Amino acid sequence: MRRRLPRDRSLLELFAAPLVLAAYAILAFGVFRLGCAPAFEDVDFFGVPVTVFLLGALTLAALVLILFAGLHLPRVLRRAETTVGQTPARRTALMLLGATLVVASFLLAGAWGMLLLNTPCP
């Protein structure tokens, strides 16, 4: 019976933040387009338009999830240290790639939310 080596999932786990960003972008655009429908244009929630409230809540949730993905990076590094065949250079590259993806995803999610909040309905 052949023994299998443990799979290195650290590279896949680095893409958690961009996946959250992609899901958020799709959901936020859908909420924006739905909010532009005539049935939802004049609906307020405590004096705030429903579309603005939902986009703000979605943006905040996406930013928190991206932050959690960033906080998971040290655990990925520790797991990469115990994996067979991981060199220090590869571990450093994984951490730099992960940190870059988290920061870029955080900035893009914030920019996308502000863009949708400031865009008038067509």
Q: What pLDDT score does 5 carry?
A: 46
- 44 neighbors 63 (Cβ within 8 angstroms): no
* CA 14, 17, 19, 22 torsion-angle sign: negative
Rounded CA gap, 62 and 12, in Å?
A: 19
Q: Of 3, 9, 17, 2, which Cα lies nearest the Cα of 82?
A: 9
- Among the ranges given (1-5, 21-25, 32-36), the one the predictor scored with the smallest mean pLDDT: 1-5
User: What pLDDT, in 10s, does the model give residues 45-94?
Assistant: 788 778 888 888 899 999 999 898 888 888 877 776 666 666 777 778 87
Count of CB atoms within 10 A of residue 97's CB?
14
The model's pTM: 0.76
- 73 neighbors 99 (Cβ within 8 angstroms): yes
Q: Spell out the domain ranges in the chain.
A: 12-118
Q: Would you state the structure tokens that stand for residue 60, as one six-digit string?
A: 């905040």
* pLDDT tier for residue 105 given thresholds of 50, 70 and 90: very high
